[in-house]
């Protein structure tokens, strides 16, 4: 009897898994080509990359990464390369705009490739292909800019007649909407805005920005706040202000994107407020979107990730994650 | 008259600097008649100028180097890693400068031994070195905040009398050394002869290969040292470090009067050229102009300087 029971137990243990329905990870056998937008190693793109990589690992999907140096032409070129490889899905950054992408995305949709968009929206294409899984994960640049200006007014107590310096990239069609949103809200409140366009050299290498800040603050000692519409420059604000002999908490500084250096600057009082687009979510959720559409036919999701704000009270919890490239 | 003819390039570039300074003082007296802006300039000009000094030797030697932004990032990465692991600034500087020299030696090997034209070889190494650095760093920036509490920081980036940044002192020392090399040392003659006519230099008994190897290693060392200065001043390293320097470093060298054809160039011109290029944007901002003006003004300054040089070149004067 004992032997029969033992044999039966062994049989059940070996045979049962063979008969049970095999559970697999949702993304297995799915290949996704992913454009991280920036250069390899760029601060923002690396966090997007980490999010997509994590989703690929969690879901079992295979991700191939591309880099575009924030060049719209390179993004289109990368899309064509991805299209030629005929993957299951492609994640694009929307910087080139609807009309530039339209013929290629149409071709991809005809071939059954799921396309979804992150960071900068493609509203017309999303409307056309929403049911085929074309979603948008990322901040609404214009709203993010407006929210940043409102939050700055609230936190810094800005009022009519105050002077605010805004350093941004208005020349970039969609990315520039953030600076536009900031300026509009401030000017509506009667705040005087000194807008400065970031030069291409400083855009590429933030260490060149010191004399610009020194020159501006020495010519405008009555400036109440500075809003830096650029992640890498925000991360260098401590150095810029130190070089200008401006101590912590002397000028209110707001900026975008968290990095280890920005976290240090917040702790020391050189930066007071960060608008966080939560780039990790761009990578993670866009991969998830494609996998879910491929497997279960879900339509496109629209998720605004740009509502996060980080100040001194929140930084302690988030700083270790910034060091790992997750926030 | 002979003095003016002999030093005409230096006089032109100095006049442009004085003119710009006077213009900025007139447009923005509050900024340019106070000391703060000059301290800020002295803290960032060395990043560009140290690279430009090295590049001057390369161009006078008749060669080209496009890899220096990547070498800067690679050396900065080594600097930050060694500092994080050991806490020693001096060891970190040595490792970073050695890395820069090694990258320069790689360029020299490709150009001198394999025979790849320098412009092509250094495009290749630019990608290779940047790629390797990003790969090793896993794309993540390094915070060096602890460096500000070290004695080494005071030597590299401290302030003398709370005004003169130490990196500017290093720049002045390097400029004097380069002036002596190019103008008063046999090495300078070899570099100029090699750049003017490599075959003639060989006939004269100059080791052209050794001279080229020397200038590329020196360029690597300069790139490494510039990377160290950026990391130390900013207390931070990031994977795209150096990418904004390519055009402004070349502009500094050429408005300084160095000939793109090799054989001719001035260290003083490069030094002043770096100051001019580095001061334009902040000058315009202080004067209330939009940042969009920066490139336009760069263009005017570069065109003015190189036109003067073309008009007053030896050939024209001889005519």
* Judgement on whether residues A77 and A170 belong to the same structural domain of the protein: no
Q: How confident is the model at residue B318, as a pLDDT?
A: 42
Low-confidence ranges of chain A (pLDDT < 50): none
Chain A nearest-CA distance from B277, in A, is: 11
Query: Domain range spanning residue B153?
Result: 39-242
* Judgement on whether residues A291 and A271 belong to the same structural domain of the protein: no
Looking at the DSSP bridge assignments, the partners of residue A309 are A275
- A positions 43-62 inside 8 Å of B (CB): 43, 45-46, 49
Question: Which residue in B has a C-alpha nearest to residue A201's C-alpha?
Answer: B244
Chain B contact for A203, CB < 8 A? yes
* Judgement on whether residues A94 and A196 belong to the same structural domain of the protein: no
The helix-helix angle for A43-59 and A279-296 (nearest 10°) equals: 30
| C-alpha span between A261 and A241 (Å, rounded) | 14
* Judgement on whether residues A133 and A146 belong to the same structural domain of the protein: no
CB-based contacts of A142, cutoff 8 Å, min separation 6:
A177, A178, A180, A181
Q: Please report, for the domain that includes residue A112, its CATH number.
A: 3.40.50.2300
Chain B nearest-CA distance from A27, in A, is: 25
* Judgement on whether residues A257 and A147 belong to the same structural domain of the protein: yes
Query: Domain range spanning residue A216?
Result: 141-276
- A223 phi and psi, to 5 degrees? -65, 135
- A positions 214-253 inside 8 Å of B (CB): 214-216, 218-219, 232, 235-236, 239, 243-245
B316 lies in some domain: no
| C-alpha span between B264 and B313 (Å, rounded) | 11
* Judgement on whether residues A257 and A195 belong to the same structural domain of the protein: yes
Last residue of a domain, one of A276, A297, A314: A276
Chain B nearest-CA distance from A245, in A, is: 8
Q: How confident is the model at residue B319, as a pLDDT?
A: 40
A89 lies in some domain: yes
Strands (E), chain B: 142-143, 159-160, 164-165, 236-237
B295 lies in some domain: no
Q: How confident is the model at residue A276, as a pLDDT?
A: 87
Low-confidence ranges of chain B (pLDDT < 50): 316-319
* Judgement on whether residues A211 and A151 belong to the same structural domain of the protein: yes
Locate B272 and state its tokens: 């002043």
Q: Are strands A273-276 and A308-310 parallel, antiparallel or unpaired?
A: antiparallel
Q: Nearest to residue A145, comparing CAs of A306, A312, A266?
A: A306
Q: Under an 8 A CB cutoff, do B137 and A171 touch? A: no
Chain B contact set for A208 (CB, 8 A) = 44, 47-48, 244-245, 248, 278
The helix (H) or strand (E) run that includes residue A108 is: helix A98-110
Chain B contact for A325, CB < 8 A? yes
* Judgement on whether residues A205 and A234 belong to the same structural domain of the protein: yes
Reported ipTM: 0.74
Question: Which residue in A has a C-alpha nearest to residue B245's C-alpha?
Answer: A201
Domain count, chain A: 2
Q: What share of chain A is helix, strand, coil (3-state, %, to 5)?
A: 50, 15, 30
A102 lies in some domain: yes
| C-alpha span between B269 and B249 (Å, rounded) | 13
Domain count, chain B: 1
Q: Under an 8 A CB cutoff, do B285 and A323 touch? A: no
Chain B contact set for A219 (CB, 8 A) = 28, 30-31, 285-288
* Judgement on whether residues A83 and A109 belong to the same structural domain of the protein: yes
- Whether residue A95 contacts residue A119, with contact meaning beta carbons closer than 8 Å, is answered with yes
DSSP, residue by residue, B185-217: SHHHHHHHHHHH-HHHHHHTT--HHHHHHHHHH
* Judgement on whether residues A117 and A182 belong to the same structural domain of the protein: no
* Judgement on whether residues A189 and A133 belong to the same structural domain of the protein: no
B205 lies in some domain: yes
> How confident is the model over B32-70, as pLDDT tens digits?
998 888 998 999 999 999 999 999 999 999 999 999 999
CA dist A239 → A37, A206, B236 (Å) = 27, 10, 10
> How confident is the model over B278-301, as pLDDT tens digits?
888 888 888 877 666 777 888 888
B272 lies in some domain: no
* Judgement on whether residues A129 and A158 belong to the same structural domain of the protein: no
Q: What share of chain B is helix, strand, coil (3-state, %, to 5)?
A: 80, 5, 20
Minimum-distance CB partner of A215 among B37, B243, B244: B37
CB-based contacts of A119, cutoff 8 Å, min separation 6:
A37, A48, A93, A94, A95, A138, A139, A277, A279, A282
What does the H/E/C string look like for B97-117? HHHHHHHHHHHHHHHHHHCCC
DSSP, residue by residue, A36-94: --S-TT-HHHHHHHHHHHHHHHHHT-EEEEE--TT-HHHHHHHHHHHHHH--SEEEEE-
Q: Under an 8 A CB cutoff, do A215 and B140 touch? A: no
- Whether residue A235 contacts residue A265, with contact meaning beta carbons closer than 8 Å, is answered with yes
């Amino acid at each position: 009897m004992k032997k029969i029971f033992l044999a039966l137990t062994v049989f059940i243990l070996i045979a049962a898994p063979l008969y049970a329905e095999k559970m697999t990870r949702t993304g297995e056998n799915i290949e996704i080509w992913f454009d991280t937008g920036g250069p390899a190693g760029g601060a923002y793109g690396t966090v997007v990359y980490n999010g997509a990589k994590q989703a690929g690992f969690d879901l079992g999907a295979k991700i191939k990464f591309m880099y575009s140096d924030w060049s719209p032409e390179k993004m289109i070129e990368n899309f064509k390369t991805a299209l030629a490889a005929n993957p299951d899905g492609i994640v694009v950054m929307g910087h080139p705009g609807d009309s530039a992408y339209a013929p290629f995305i149409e071709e991809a949709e005809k071939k059954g490739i799921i396309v979804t968009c992150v960071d900068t929206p493609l509203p017309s294409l999303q409307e056309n292909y929403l049911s085929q899984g074309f979603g948008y994960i990322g901040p609404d640049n214009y709203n993010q800019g407006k929210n940043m200006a409102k939050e700055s007014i609230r936190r810094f107590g800005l009022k009519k007649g105050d002077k605010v310096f805004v350093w941004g990239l208005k020349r970039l069609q969609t990315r520039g909407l953030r600076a536009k949103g900031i300026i509009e809200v401030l000017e509506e409140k009667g705040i005087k805005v000194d807008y400065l366009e970031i030069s291409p050299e400083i855009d590429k290498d933030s260490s060149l920005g010191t004399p610009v800040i020194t020159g501006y603050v020495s010519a405008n000692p009555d400036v109440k706040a500075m809003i830096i519409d650029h992640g890498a420059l925000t991360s260098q604000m401590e150095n810029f202000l130190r070089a200008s002999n401006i101590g912590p908490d002397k000028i209110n500084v707001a900026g975008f994107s968290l990095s280890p250096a920005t976290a240090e600057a917040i702790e020391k009082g050189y930066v007071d407020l960060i608008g966080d687009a939560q780039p990790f979510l761009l990578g993670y959720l866009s991969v998830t979107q494609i996998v879910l559409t491929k497997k279960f036919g879900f339509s496109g999701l629209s998720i605004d990730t740009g509502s996060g704000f980080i100040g001194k009270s929140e930084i302690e919890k988030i700083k270790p994650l910034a060091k790992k490239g997750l926030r | 008259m002979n003095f003016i003819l002999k030093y005409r390039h230096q006089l032109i570039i100095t006049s442009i600097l004085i003119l710009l300074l006077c213009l900025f003082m007139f447009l923005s007296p509050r900024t340019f008649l106070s000391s703060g802006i000059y301290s800020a300039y002295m803290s960032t000009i060395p990043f560009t100028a140290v690279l430009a000094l090295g590049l001057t030797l390369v161009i006078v030697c008749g060669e080209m180097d496009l890899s220096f932004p990547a070498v800067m990032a690679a050396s900065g990465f080594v600097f930050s890693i060694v500092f994080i692991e050991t806490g020693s600034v001096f060891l970190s500087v040595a490792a970073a400068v050695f890395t820069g020299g090694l990258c320069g030696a790689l360029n020299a090997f490709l150009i001198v031994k394999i025979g790849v034209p320098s412009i092509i070889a250094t495009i290749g190494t630019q990608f290779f070195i940047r790629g390797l650095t990003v790969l090793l760093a896993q794309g993540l920036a390094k915070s060096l905040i602890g460096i500000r509490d070290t004695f080494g920081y005071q030597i590299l980036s401290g302030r003398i009398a709370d005004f003169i940044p130490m990196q500017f002192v290093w720049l002045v020392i390097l400029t004097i050394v380069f002036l002596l090399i190019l103008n008063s040392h046999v090495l300078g003659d070899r570099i100029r002869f090699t750049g003017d006519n490599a075959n003639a230099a060989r006939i004269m008994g100059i080791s052209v290969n050794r001279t080229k190897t020397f200038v590329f290693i020196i360029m690597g060392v300069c790139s490494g040292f510039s990377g160290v200065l950026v990391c130390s001043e900013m207390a931070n390293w990031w994977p795209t470090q150096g990418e904004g320097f390519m055009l402004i470093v070349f502009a500094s060298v050429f408005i300084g009067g160095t000939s793109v054809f090799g054989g001719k160039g001035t260290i003083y011109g490069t030094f002043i050229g770096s100051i001019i290029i580095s001061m334009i944007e902040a000058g315009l901002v202080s004067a209330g102009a939009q940042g969009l003006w920066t490139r336009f003004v760069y263009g005017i300054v570069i065109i003015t300087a190189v036109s003067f040089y073309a008009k007053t070149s030896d050939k024209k004067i001889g005519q």
